[in-house]
Structure 1
Amino acid sequence: MNHLATSKEDILTASRDLIRENGWAAVSIRAVAARCSVSAGTIYNYYNSKADLLGDTIESVWYEIFFHPKDEQVFHDVETCISWIYERLEYGDAQFPGFFSLHSLGFMRNEKSDGKKKMMQTWEHILHGLCEVLKNDPKIRPDVFDQQFTEDKFADILFSLILMSMLRQDYDPSDVLMLIKKTLY
């Protein structure tokens, strides 16, 4: 059901809905305007170009998938955090089929600056969260990390495995959790 867009959030909701239904190719100024029951000019009141619209849409998709303050307790131990990340990946893939592989690879390869920047901001947020969890998890052996094998380096390893899972669409964290158990506890 179409509705009248009265805000950027309405436009972004319509854009996400188009992606859910028909993939990234469905998002255009005209398609979003039609979904919102407004003229294309109304969308241009909010966005200067399709690239600007796509950049904000990408950011809103990443936000929907990964930014959940109510899930704050997942950042108290590494195993729970990794399980939550994989659950969110699975959710993201179900809600936005092909988002991770098409969007991530496309922006990395084509250097589309705004979309790539927003994707990288989300990745940095996840990586920072992993580092914090590694530094604060009380279950981790106190002698695990040193100057050569730091929390940051292990977070990079974990994040690389997460990225591979995204690209493969493999949302089973059991191998990563086994690595964590054998390495940290």
Structure 2
Amino acid sequence: MKGRSAMNKVITSREELLAASKSIAASQGLAALNMRAVAAAANVAVGSVYNYFPSKAELVTATVQDIWRGIFHAAGGYAQAGDFCACVEWLFVSIRAGAAEYPDFLRAHMSGFAAQDRKKARQAMEEAFGHMRVSLEQVLERDEKVRPDAFGEELTRQQFVAFVFSSLMAGLAREDADCAVLLAVIRRVLY
């Protein structure tokens, strides 16, 4: 057809739109995500993007969730370990490597998004991190080197894992080269 732009005539899937969105996030950062950019990258009309993502906030949230899903999938084998320190170190390295593909991903995600998007972003972050904390608790439970008196009323396993995970993510957001200080604290508390 003359005079018409070459838009993709095939119905686009959510996965294709997320792939285009992640490509933009990888090349330009999360701040560059918007409906028009994703539509252009996927070679579809802007309305096609709105069919799957009614708002920019939902597009960004879904993109962030998909990025975390990819990072966690790559880091998935750590939960089988029985050495908590080795698991934390492996997780740090895996997340850092996975997030390196997306400029400022961790910093932008940890600091939140626009005010109207914060609630959704926070919910997405909690969903993404929730299963990681549960897995860390399981690894901690299997670690036979942990002192019997390491946990009690003042410090539970769940509280400790929450502290460790928060510290791990803060180090990643700061772009720390390693998590040696966190590992030293863990060793002092546990062993």
Q: TM-score, normalised by structure 1?
A: 0.86
| CA–CA separation in structure 1 for the residues paired with 2:171 and 2:114 | 17
The residue number in structure 2 matching 1:84 is 90
Q: Does the residue aligned with 2:112 lie in a helix, a strand or coil?
A: helix
The residue number in structure 2 matching 1:63 is 69
Does residue 41 in structure 1 map to residue 51 in structure 2? Answer: no
Q: Does the residue aligned with 2:178 lie in a helix, a strand or coil?
A: coil
Q: Does the residue aligned with 1:67 lie in a helix, a strand or coil?
A: helix
Q: Deviations over 1:52-76 (max 9, x none)?
A: 2111111111111223475155543
Q: Which amino acid letter does the alignment assign opposite residue 91 of structure 1? A: A
Contact kept? 2:78, 2:87, Cα under 8 Å: no
The residue number in structure 2 matching 1:29 is 35
Q: State which structure, 1 or 2, has the greater radius of gyration over its C-alpha atoms.
A: 2
**What is the alpha-carbon root mean square deviation over aligned residues?**
2.4
Contact kept? 1:76, 1:133, Cα under 8 Å: yes
Q: Does the residue aligned with 1:60 lie in a helix, a strand or coil?
A: helix
Task: Please list every run of 5 or more consecutive structure 1 residues that lacks an aligned counterpart in the other structure.
Answer: none
| CA–CA separation in structure 1 for the residues paired with 2:109 and 2:147 | 38
Q: Deviations over 1:72-123 (max 9, x none)?
A: 5554320222012211231233111211112221249766222221012222
Tell me how many residue pairs correspond in the alignment.
183
Does residue 173 in structure 1 map to residue 179 in structure 2? Answer: yes
Task: Please list every run of 5 or more consecutive structure 2 residues that lacks an aligned counterpart in the other structure.
Answer: 1-7
The residue number in structure 1 matching 2:59 is 53
Q: Deviations over 1:130-171 (max 9, x none)?
A: 222222212212232223222122212212311320221114
Question: Do the aligned partners of residues 108 and 24 (structure 1) sit closer, same or farther apart at CA in structure 2, a change above 3 Å counting?
Answer: closer
Q: Which amino acid letter does the alignment assign opposite residue 35 of structure 2? A: I
Bigger shift: 53-62 or 157-166? 157-166
Q: Which amino acid letter does the alignment assign opposite residue 27 of structure 1? A: L
Contact kept? 1:107, 1:116, Cα under 8 Å: no
The residue number in structure 2 matching 1:183 is 189
Contact kept? 2:79, 2:138, Cα under 8 Å: no
| CA–CA separation in structure 1 for the residues paired with 2:80 and 2:92 | 12
Q: How does 1:130-145 map to 2 (within 5 A)?
A: 130-145=136-151
Contact kept? 2:84, 2:143, Cα under 8 Å: yes
The residue number in structure 2 matching 1:17 is 23
For residue 164 of structure 1, the aligned residue among 144, 161, 170 is: 170
Q: Deviations over 1:11-44 (max 9, x none)?
A: 1111011011011222111111111111112212
* Structure with a larger share of its residues in helix: 1
Does residue 155 in structure 1 map to residue 167 in structure 2? Answer: no
